[in-house]
Amino acid sequence: MKKVSVLRYAAIGMASLAMAGVAAASTVTLGNTGPDSTQHVNLNNTNSVSVKHNNNVGVGNENLQGAVTGNVKANDNTTVGGDNGSGSAANDNTTSTSVSVASGAGAGLGLGSVSAPDDTVSMDTTGPDSDNKVTIDNSNKVKVSTTNNVEVLNFNGQFAASGNVNVSHNTTAGGATSGNANNTSSTTTDISL
């Protein structure tokens, strides 16, 4: 009686995640083993890929604006008229924030695909009363974990004040004005995950 036992492990660890595709190939050929022989073939192939993304993005925009026109004072005149006033004061601000985070299963890692192993077992002329057994165990595992933390802080503080107009102790007065004071702000935030 002749006994043959073949135990084959093909384990592919993803030490480097820059592989285009992963596949294991196992070939076992048995022949002319004679009567009452035992042939047991065990093929164990494991492909495992683990990808973890941790994206932390922080953006802060601060806008502080102040617009103040001057004071107008016309006192102790015979005649005050015409265009007597302070000029206008204005502030304008535009803020645009765009955040894009790409975290696909193999983004930037070239993982490609994990394909099934190519196993071949061939038994020929094993003889009468032989015990022939083939066990094939193929395992493909892909684990992807993605955590995105995106924080955008927009602070807009605005102050606008028009100056005082003081016209007093004049014989004739008119046309004294304080200028306009205004602030304009526009904020756009775009987040793409």
At 149 the pLDDT is: 92
Q: pLDDT at position 4, please?
A: 43
Total domain count, the chain: 1
Asked if residues 19 and 110 have their Cβ atoms less than 8 Å apart, the reply is yes
Residue 111: the pLDDT is: 52
Smallest CA-to-CA distance from 88 within 167, 183, 157 is with 183
Residue 103 is predicted with a pLDDT of 74
Q: What is the pLDDT of residues 13-67, one digit of tens each?
A: 333 344 445 556 788 888 888 888 888 888 888 888 888 889 999 999 998 999 8
pLDDT of residue 82: 72
The answer, as to whether pTM is greater than 0.85, is: no
Place of tokens 């299963």: 105
Domain hosting 61: range is 3-192
For 23, phi and psi rounded to 5 degrees? -150, 140
Which residue positions in the chain have pLDDT lower than 50?
A: 1-20, 107-110
Q: What is the 3-state secondary structure (H, E, C) of the chain?
A: CCEEEEEEEEEECCCCCCCCEECCEEEEEEECCCCCCEEEEEEEEEEEEEEEEEEEEEEEEEEEEEEECCCEEEECCCEECCCEECCCEEEEEEEEEEEECCCCCCCCCCCCEECCCEEEEEEECCCCCCEEEEEEEEEEEEEEEEEEEEEEEEEEEEEEECCCEEEECCCEECCEECCCEEEEEEEEEEEEC
